Amino acid sequence: MLFFHCPEQHALLRCCLHLLSKHLINQFVAVTALLSACNHSSNLLSFRAELQIESCRGLFARSQASLCVLWVCYTELFISRKVRSLNCDLYFLNLVLMGFVPKSSAERSGVYGKEIKYMERSYVSKPTLNEVVIVSAARTPIGSFLGSLSSLPATRLGSLAIQGAIEKAGIPKEEVKEAYMGNVLQGGEGQAPARQAVLGAGLPLSTPCTTVNKVCASGMKAIMLASQSLMCGHQDVVVAGGMESMSNAPYVMNRGATPYGGVKLEDLIVKDGLTDVYNKIHMGNCAENTAKKLHITREEQDAYAVGSYGRSQAAWDAGRFAEEVVPVTISAKGKPDVVVKEDEEYRRVDFSKVPKLKTVFQKENGTVTAANASTLNDGAAAVVLMTSDAAKRLSVKPLARIAAFADAAVDPIDFPVAPAYAVPKVLKDAGLKKEDITMWEVNEAFSLVVLANMKMLELDPQKVNINGGAVSLGHPIGMSGARIVIHMVHTLKPGQYGLASICNGGGGASAMLVQRL
């Protein structure tokens, strides 16, 4: 005997009686067996995505949350060829299983129409995902290659960023339930770099940790993965970000490859970080390819680079980075401690030399130079993310909410323009237009990248990278995706939207939309 616990029991019984009256005993037995076996976590709930019934398509546009088992049972009945051939009272069943009954014939006649707003109602245990908020955001200064931060491994830089973010959040470290940290050049760092960074920051041994490698987008992807965990309710407080010490990336040699006369060493910065493995070319050559396709000149790229340096200098002079940067203390045996408080790279430029520099990747008719490309750097960044419910529980005031995010991918050689494919996805998911965005961050892997994406997306240059970017501040590749999100959070005013996007090797890009609270 079956015991029904949902309010739709009469609908199911009506359907069952109809089946019995048509001598479909076997079908009924199969369905009752299905009903008794189902529960909210069953994979059978995926039936809702398989329906191809055009006339009822609107009824099955379900939420991703689990459906009531009776809906699954009804779905199984409805898609059966035998049952579809019956003249069953589908209208009555549809409405009752959706949780309402029409009050008039007018409603009955329009039940499948788009104008009926209540057709969007979902019978789910939880109708929405958790809202995710950023409660703190911090980063280290960005050190030049073999510069002030070069004595610290990426994992130590990560620890300092995590510590800074948690201190800014004002919560006990024990509240952090999980951590995701981006890191690209992992050779020689030891096992599980994210775990090293988390334990180095003093978080509990019970904290699960994941290291993310999506090349330049690693730091942003770490925030996206953390957000998904929070949205789905797997955790309620998570730390995420990215870290890199390009100064400490080692040289390597193939095992057993020691021919007479010497050995060949490979630089892991180039091999694992800056080479398109599909076309066997440097990322700078990919930038040259894009410049040629989109007719972007050397002069345009140089002018953009000079502007980036100028904006970064003005921002530092005005204290616009002060809120996001946590000082790093460098200790050396027998020497006084050195405290690094600001980025190094933006002051290392001679504007008079910019137009005179030789191109690096394409000797003839090339456009990319050391001045209009980003540099090799060290640094780390981290954010503390929570569900809005957790923020209330901990009495923490959020800085911003994660409004939407997306990834995109194109031909690997075209990676510089991949953000132009990720950004529209984010805007569509959020239901916004370009005009709704106050601030854009497009990572400056090369000046060419920003110029190309501004051109393709038709962005207002006055809203893009308003305080400079990776060309002038530096580009620690595992950190940069998190850095641009952090900078938006600290720069936006309440109510404003900011959209950050970053390309990555292999033809990918990630993009994230935040709203300042």
Phi and psi at residue 242, in whole multiples of 5°? Answer: -155, 160
Residue 254 tokens, joined: 């193939």
Strand partners, 406: 511
Reported as type and span, the H/E element at residue 180 is strand 178-182
SS percent in the chain: helix, strand, coil, step 5 = 45, 20, 40
Rounded Cα distance, 101 and 93, in Å: 10
The residue from 16, 38, 68, 503 that is catalytic is: 503
Residue 449's identity, in one-letter code, is V
Please say whether the beta carbons of 334 and 473 come within 8 A: no
Structure tokens at 305: 């680079």
330 burial level (CB within 10 Å; 0-12, 13-18, 19+): middle
Please report, in angstroms and rounded to a whole number, the separation of the first and last CA atoms in the chain. 54
503 is catalytic: yes
- Helix, coil or strand: residue 501: strand
Q: Which two tokens stand for residue 4?
A: 């029904």
- State phi, psi for 353 to the nearest 5 degrees: -90, -15
Check 56, 216, 232, 286 and give the catalytic one: 216
Cα–Cα distance between 311 and 305 in angstroms, integer? 10
CA distance 40 to 66: 6
Catalytic, 15? Answer: no
d(CA 127, CA 188) in angstroms, rounded, equals 46
- Check residue 218 and report its DSSP letter: H
CB contact set of 266 (below 8 Å; sequence gap of 6+): 251, 252, 253
Residue 475, Cβ density class (10 Å: 0-12 exposed, 13-18 middle, ≥19 buried): buried
Q: Which residues pair with 239 in a beta bridge?
A: 179, 384
Q: Which residues are identified as catalytic? A: 216, 503
